[in-house]
Amino acid sequence: MEDLERYGDYNDIEDDMPKGKNPLGIILKILVGIICISVVGVLAFRIILFNNYPDSMKNLYFDSVLTEHYKSNEGNISVKTQSLRAPYDDPDEGNFFCDNLFVISDISQLQVSLRFNTALSDSLKEKYGAEVDIDNSDIFHFRLVRNPGSEDGAPEEIGSLEVTKTDSMFYYRYYKLVFCGVDFGLDEGEDKVNWIRLEITIDGVEAEEPFMVAIYENNEAYSTFEDYVISDKEKPE
């Protein structure tokens, strides 16, 4: 009888002892944690990259015309910028995105940056049956079009593309476009430009109309412009 009671005491002691953790469960928890952190990291990286432009694309570009204007005025020049309300060609497809608008009206110059994903080649092949080399800058063509000059008129081409610079980062391709001879109609009595859009055509892509992004607005609905402060690294030597 005493032996049975003593045996029962042993069972109580074993029940009170802490049970060891399952190694397999610990490994699974660690793996799940690593996967979650990796997914969040990848998403954060893609978001940061999506909203980022290389310095060569987001900075003010000093071509010969702007450099001469800057020097002749001892650096006291007016550069305006504007946040684009709809910086894409299509809200669903989003083939092209624009940003970094600069308006230097004193010399009739407009600068803008354009970005697209390398997946554009797959989209063009699927939608238009066109196989294009998106790293070949010669197949892309750009022009500016403004609102009609009259109620019965059609949109008109404005300015001319004078400088095209390219850059790349991971799966994005970038263009810096500098247009000269852009008459914004800001002086009294002139034909005011209410909006300007960038039109993009691609060799080999037979679309009904160009890809279009609204890059400039100066109308009753939206006319917010801000002074752009030129950084030291942007200033010409």
Q: Does an H or E element contain 176, and which? A: strand 172-180
Alpha carbon distance 75, 67 (integer Å): 9
Q: What is the pLDDT of residue 20?
A: 61
CA distances from 98 to 91, 112, 131 (A): 13, 7, 24
Alpha carbon distance 18, 62 (integer Å): 73
Q: What is the pLDDT of residue 42?
A: 47
Q: What is the pLDDT of residue 43?
A: 45
The per-residue pLDDT string of the chain (237 residues; one tens digit each, 9 = 90 and over) reads 555 455 555 555 455 555 566 777 777 777 777 776 655 554 444 444 446 799 999 999 999 999 999 999 999 999 999 999 999 999 999 999 999 999 999 999 999 999 999 999 999 999 999 999 999 999 999 999 999 988 888 999 999 999 999 999 999 999 999 999 999 998 877 889 999 999 999 999 999 999 999 999 999 899 999 999 999 999 998
Q: Angle at the Cα of 137 (from 134 to 141), degrees rounded to 5?
A: 105
CATH fold of 56-227 reads: Immunoglobulin-like (2.60.40)
- Nearest Cα to 99, choosing from 85, 109, 87, 89? 87
Average pLDDT, the chain: 87
Q: What is the pLDDT of residues 70-88, one digit of tens each?
A: 999 999 999 999 999 999 9
Q: What is the pLDDT of residue 151?
A: 81
CA distances from 203 to 124, 141, 143, 197 (A): 11, 8, 14, 20
Alpha carbon distance 141, 131 (integer Å): 17
Q: What is the pLDDT of residue 189?
A: 74
- 3-class DSSP state of 200: strand
At a CB cut-off of 8 Å and minimum separation 6, what does 53 contact? 99, 100, 113, 115, 174
Domain ranges across the chain:
2-48, 56-227
Q: Does an H or E element contain 109, and which? A: strand 109-117
179 token code pair: 């247009």
Contact 41, 33 (CB under 8 A): no
- The answer to whether the predicted template modeling score (pTM) of the entire model surpasses 0.85 is no
